[in-house]
Chains A and B, each alone.
Chain A
């Protein structure tokens, strides 16, 4: 990331716009050679590959966390439902939490699902309390996943921009 900031700063310093390597404006004052342009693209490429790795590590970590919490939910009543049932409970919970006050259906659906997954002979409130603590934990992971998806989207845009820049460069060098 630091490398990328450095490169972006360098590009900005050269007045060539974000993610546009120097060579794009070859011919204007402050020209840089194709070799220098290639070097800048190489650095950007390296930075994006590193960013991809970081995003990948975070993605896997969050996915693992989410699955671990889902497993803990499932452990509340292992014989009481499938993984899909617990996933449905989680999705119903999200809808219920996101719903407006007058949308009672979501609340009803969630409560029905929760009731269906409660083991026989287990205190209703105790089960609800345990389940909701885990659902809140899932929600926290989900928020991080949403933020990561935004970062991934931004990253993908940078990759696309860099692909275009690479193409422009190779056209100039006659390698296309």
Chain B
């Protein structure tokens, strides 16, 4: 399976797990729904900027999006996510960015033996 197909499939899995529709992802990324559909099918590639924004939304790192493994835990909505507004997807992505920064900072602290 080619890289773009692999990433597209992974994005689709994570999107469906979160209960989000293609058009919600399209609005969030500022692209057409057909674009998301083609990228998920591996017919087109997501741009690097789009992949970074998807990582923020799903709260994962780029290497997780590119790996073969499917994450066991991902973004969950405790209500019907089909009605989630675009502004909330941006909010979730911004908050997940802070969480990803924490992950990175924890790694720096561990590598430099500065914990505790």
Chains A and B are bound partners: no
Which B residues form the contact surface with A (CB < 8 A)?
A: none
Which A residues form the contact surface with B (CB < 8 A)?
A: none
